[in-house]
Amino acid sequence: MSCLGRGIRAGALGAAFGVLVLARAAVAAPAIEFPDVDPEWARLGQLLFWDPVLSGNRNISCGTCHHPRFGTSDGVSLGIGEGGIGVGPDRRPDPANMPEARIPRNAPALWNRGATEFARLFHDGRVELAEGYPSGIRTPVGEDFVEGIASPLAAQALFPLVSPDEMAGHYGENEISRAVAEGRITGPGGAWDLIVRRVVAIPAYRDAFARLLGDGEEVTIADIGNAIAAFETYEFRADNSLFDRFLRGEAELPADARRGMELFYGKAGCAACHSGPLQTDHEFHAIGVPQFGPGKAAAFESHHRDPGRALVTGAEGDAFCFRTPSLRNVTLTAPYGHDGAFPTLRAMIRHHLDPAGSLDHYDPSMAVLPELPTAGGDWAELDDAEGAHLVRTSIEIDLPDLDEEEIDDLIAFLGTLTDAEAARGRLGIPEAVPSGLPVDR
């Protein structure tokens, strides 16, 4: 059984939604709801987002791998986190602190992650709203998760901080990485607590939190997550594209984009998964993206697979299912796929049209992988017949063929989902951060 218990095909759903969307040309666009953001919290979050003080070795910030120059991603298939120097495709290993591995998944873009409909985050949805948890959010630390967290986005922001390959560093390198290696994430003396102590030891941060929380109030890791989420919600809101203005009756689409829209919501079947105002159903689907890189297997396992959603649910039917990405600003966020397997929208669309054939004949040169001497086995999973068979048999999409002109039209429509104002940034990159550490501009 597939992730949703059914295959995904073009048909009545796409056609019916297409009629609805076309009708909205004369009325209001579908509502995209965002929480109110306090500007002071957003400004504090901006500084924290760009400050390397949150990382174990004080050498990498959230913005390093979610950089506006690369559409709030990093422009590569699988990035280098801890132990890297530079940003984007130019990022390279630090010879004095060689990374142990690539990041196993593509850095997701952050556009509209603050919208209230984003109740699940990460490629596998391992942070999500859920009943039965004290915080109301299910996370990898279970019921021990911190109190006072305002949203799934705020919760998500905390986990790269305690990932050895992303920001924490490796055992023995610093006090935070040692806490992570020993399983001390939450509670006094845990990795998050150590990060809070670092932050409040800096007068500018201590004063800012005092203004927002009140004098004498204890700062928690939840407050840091909430501040970062406030910034991301404000900075990366992208809901004023040409498509939005078209739906509000304020603009017209070019002829090729109009044809592409009709394909998207009709014959091509894209809207079966890329539905709603942000072009995502927020569900998980297996589309057969070729697998490479370190994967997400346990240390004792001999393969390099990434089972996707199955890592969260434990359900066999969720194997190789990944979250449907929103398509807002999608023209800015290449490469595409959970591991960045495809460098262009055209290549990604072609994969959707023939996922099994694409998987069987994948060209590794399409992957954008910074050189990393320690990254042995990048292609082990792609070359593994058993793994490829498992990915192939999980595929649940069956879409009609399109000719090159139709693909051109689809790409033209996707271009109308770009919000140029959001892409330019609102608060932008700060000139300096309170820690005095370098900012990855």
Each of the 441 residues of the chain gets a pLDDT tens digit; together they read 456 544 555 443 444 444 444 435 333 446 799 999 999 999 999 999 999 999 999 999 999 999 999 999 999 999 999 999 999 999 999 999 999 999 999 999 999 999 999 999 999 999 999 998 989 999 999 888 999 999 999 999 999 999 999 999 999 899 999 999 999 999 999 999 999 999 999 999 999 999 999 999 999 999 999 999 999 999 999 999 999 999 999 999 999 999 999 999 999 999 999 999 999 999 999 999 999 999 998 877 888 999 999 999 999 999 999 999 999 999 999 999 999 999 999 999 999 999 999 999 999 999 999 999 887 789 999 999 999 999 999 999 999 999 999 999 999 999 999 999 999 999 999 999 999 999 998
d(CA 207, CA 203): 6
Instruction: Indicate the fold that domain 8-30+252-418 takes in CATH.
Output: Cytochrome Bc1 Complex; Chain D, domain 2 (1.10.760)
Per-domain boundaries in the chain: 8-30+252-418, 39-237
Residue pair 202/435 in contact by the 8 Å Cβ criterion? yes
Same CATH topology for 8-30+252-418 and 39-237: the answer is yes
pLDDT at 2: 53
The CATH label, of 3.30.1380.20, 3.30.428.10, 1.10.760.10, 1.10.150.120, for the domain at 39-237 is: 1.10.760.10
Question: What 3-state class would DSSP assign to 46?
Answer: helix
Per-residue pLDDT at 405: 98
* pLDDT for 26: 31
- Note the residue count of the chain: 441
Task: Tally helices (H) and strands (E) across the chain.
Answer: 16, 9
Q: Which residues of 356-387 are buried (b: 16+ CB within 10 A; e: fewer)?
A: eebbeebeeebbbbbebeebeebbbbbebeeb
Which has the closest alpha carbon to 109: 424, 352, 336? 336
Report how far residue 400's alpha carbon sits from residue 77's, in angstroms, rounded to the nearest whole number: 27
**Residues 118, 281: Cα–Cα separation, whole Å:** 10
> Distance between CA atoms of 226 and 44, rounded to whole angstroms?
10
Measured between alpha carbons, how far is 412 from 321 in angstroms, rounded to an integer? 28
pTM for the model stands at 0.94
